[in-house]
Chain A
Amino acid sequence: MSTAPNHAPPAAAIDPNDPATLRLSGRWTMRYADEIGVALRAAPRSISRIDARQAERLDTLGVLQLLRYADRYKLDFDHFEFRDDQKALVAAIEDIKDERPKPQRDHGFRAALERLGFAVADNYKEGLALVGFLGEILAKLLRLLKHPKRLRLPATVHQMEEVGLNAVPLVALLSFMVGAVIAFLGATVLREFGATIYVVELVGIAFLREFGVLLTAILLAGRTASAFTAQIGMMVMREEVDAIRVLGLDPVDLLVIPRTLALLAMLPLLTFIAMMAGLLGGMAVCAGTLDIPAAAYLARLQDTVGFRHFAVGMVKAPVFAMVIALIGCLEGLQVQGTAQSLGERTTSSVVQAISMVIVIDAMAALWFMEMGY
């Protein structure tokens, strides 16, 4: 043993005294996996047993390779020789080598068709769950009118701060900038007709009717729906939601209603801020580059943009709030045990919320136009 060089790669040679024995030397370990394969392939077929006593080191991979070798050439593994300190490992591995798992998962057309079927069924179930959840929340909100004491006021106020107050700077800043951009855009087009004054109507109507509420809803869909899903989803993963259930409490009452109410209260307020910031953005551009002073801007706004535009915009706010809260919370409750599931649900919640907001807004625009509002 003392003659063995340090960290020698694995090698195998025929025993000079016994041509049927293969003597191993060097390190039969994972880092020499390639060399082990080469050494074993190069070994003559005439051997009937292997002597590993000279091997400097032997790890699980080395033993596994010897076992595979014995299997392939139908050698009797019991005749292999090991040093005492190797025997425990060899015995442990030999004990368990036989059992193999059943093959799983098939590929091909059939599996693809199966996945498609499952995807369709899942989507159907998800739609059903959303409608069911909407019903449940509406019922529980109505029950709240009868038993106002059931309302978790501190949680609701906390959520209002989180989704409403903390979002004010973001919503105001982005709306201001979009308002300015619309004014610029309008000025560029309308200048050719010598009608720059109509920029005021453009910004006013666009923001009050559509952009104020749409921008707020999209921002909150990204900011709040994802937060709801992640918060509730994490609670599901840590079995907190199960704990709520077995304590005889209702996770919808405890988690969903405060969030829904907070959003229902705050989204209209944020929408108002967005509208004002947007108008301000337009005003800044008008005053700065279009020679329409602030006073003239405001006066024209008052004269030409009717209250009905504000109403059309505002009336959509609670609907969007409901959609965002509903999707955010429902996706959270559907999280399963894995980190991947949490990620998928959070993504899905944002995507669904934004798409729903835009689809509903488009349908509403059509309806309001046809009705002449």
Chain B
Amino acid sequence: MATEAASATTTAVAPAADTTVIRMRGLVTRFGAQLVHDGVDLDVRRGEILGVVGGSGAGKSVLMRSILGLQRPTAGSIEVLGVDALSEDAVTRRHIDRNVGVLFQDGALFSSQTVGENVQMPVKEYYPELTDSLRYELALLKVKLAGLRADDVAKLPSQLSGGMRKRAGLARALALDPPLLFLDEPTAGLDPISAAAFDTLIRTLQEALGLTVFLITHDLDTLYAITDRVAVLADRKIVAVAPVKELETFDHPWVQEYFNGPRGRAARSTKEGIE
């Protein structure tokens, strides 16, 4: 029992008292002569949906890849769930991977496996002791939670539409009930109806599963609909982190252009119309 408790602590999330899930300090990323991030500081709080916006090429995806350990920053520190995300230590890395779900832009499903097999993959890796039938039921549950039909578990990714692929990718990201979820442009390429449905889905799941969500998006409607706070990446730094309402009046040329341009105004008025 003692060993069980000890091993449990290694995979358990950070103590409840600590409300910061991701803590990034002085992050610098450089590709050759090109400086992408120059001293990025960012805190993501437990249980919030944090939107990350920025122009194309501002380094939003690079930021996410750095947190996930897919990309090594030139300098700075990143802490995820209370452990050093830049550590080379395999146990630390595995702890983070175990507690993090990622939805890549186009789903990044394994193309030679069915949706069900895709979702079962992480479960099989981390919990090989589960019986086949239980693992299958769990995958089925996640697929349905992500808003797909039960029949879709047997389909190959190539048989799915773009929106369905994202839902399947989300099901796989949720396979291990991770407390922290990364979404890279979840609504890009979806029609407005599907995009709105996807927003609702993320909000519902976030509430049901108590998730912390790191959400990269270009979609102003998404920002207004579901984010708690929005971080703006511009001039190689995070220039502001605030609820979207407060950002409208934030004094920065890019932020002004973004929120008060024609699209920003349209998204805002829809939101106000609803309220």
- Which residues of A approach B to under 8 Å, CB–CB? 6-9, 27, 29-31, 33-34, 59-61, 64-65, 68, 85, 88-89, 91-93, 96-97, 99-102, 104-105, 336-341
Contacts and interface: CB of A to CB of B under 8 A. Distances in A.
Interface residues of B, number: 38
Contacts of B130: 30, 33
Contact of A7 (B9, B141, B153, B209): B9
Given A7-B5, A102-B151, A338-B158, A30 B176 contact: yes
Contacts of B145: 60, 92-93, 96
Nearest to B129: A34
B226 to A, nearest CB: 15
B141 A338 contact: no
Given A337-B111, A338-B112, A101 B151 contact: yes
Given A9-B4, A89-B208, A338-B158, A100 B141 contact: no
A234 to B, nearest CB: 13
Contacts of B141: 60, 64, 93, 96-97
B111 A60 contact: no
B62 interface: no
A64 B127 contact: no
A101 B150 contact: yes
B82 to A, nearest CB: 15
A105 B114 CA distance: 13
A64 B177 CA distance: 13
A88 B207 contact: yes
Given A7-B8, A92-B145, A93-B141, A99 B150 contact: yes
A35 to B, nearest CB: 9
Contacts of B157: 337-338
Q: Which 9 A-B pairs have the closest CB atoms?
A: A340-B112, A337-B158, A338-B111, A96-B144, A7-B8, A88-B208, A92-B208, A59-B177, A101-B150
Contacts, number: 86
B142 interface: yes
B102 to A, nearest CB: 18
B140 interface: yes
Contacts of A339: 110-112
Given A31-B11, A101-B150, A340 B134 contact: no
B217 to A, nearest CB: 23
Contact of A92 (B111, B150, B177, B205): B205
A339 B108 CA distance: 12
B1 A61 contact: no
A64 B112 contact: no
23 contacts: A9-B1, A9-B4, A27-B8, A31-B8, A33-B129, A33-B134, A34-B129, A60-B138, A60-B142, A61-B134, A68-B137, A85-B210, A88-B207, A89-B208, A93-B145, A96-B145, A100-B140, A102-B151, A337-B157, A338-B156, A338-B158, A339-B112, A340-B112
Interface of B: 1, 4-5, 8-9, 11-12, 110-112, 123, 127, 129-130, 134, 137-138, 140-142, 144-145, 149-151, 153-154, 156-158, 176-177, 204-205, 207-210
A67 to B, nearest CB: 9
Nearest to A27: B8
B208 A104 contact: no
B36 to A, nearest CB: 25
Given A64-B141, A85-B210, 6 more contacts: A6-B9, A33-B127, A60-B142, A61-B138, A88-B208, A340-B111
Given A30-B177, A31-B127, A93-B145, A64 B156 contact: no
A119 to B, nearest CB: 19
B136 to A, nearest CB: 10
Contacts of B149: 99
Identify which of A33, A68, A91, A97 gathers the most chain B CB atoms within 10 Å of its CB: A33
A89 B204 CA distance: 9
